[in-house]
Amino acid sequence: MLAALHSLYYLDKTHDYLTQQRNIRRSIEEYLRLDECGFLPASWHGKRVERKFERLGLIIPLAFAVLVVQAICVYLIWAIQ
């Protein structure tokens, strides 16, 4: 159980770190004016990536997978004894 909580905590922290890195990249792209050169969509100008980005499509399924694997491990250990 503790391993599952640990895994979920670090999954969330990694998502926060990646969101921060995406916003840094967006700032650099705006500084270099890549949206004006046609390399990036103009609609991205001035927008920031929010923490909820890819939460339903990626983070929640990964968290569910972590919990399922942990539950199977606990069951196997209990069944073997």
Please give the Cα distance from 51 to 20 (Å, whole number).
9
Please give the Cα distance from 9 to 49 (Å, whole number).
21
DSSP for 33-57, written as a single string: TTTTTTSS-GGGTT----TTTTIII
59-81 confidence digits (pLDDT tens): 999 999 999 999 999 999 999 98
16-26 confidence digits (pLDDT tens): 999 999 999 99
Mean residue pLDDT across the chain:
89
The pair of structure tokens assigned to 69 is: 């694997």
Q: Domain limits at 56?
A: 2-80
Report whether 59 contacts 15 (CB < 8 A). Answer: yes
What pTM, to 2 d.p., does this model score?
0.75
Number of domains in the chain: 1
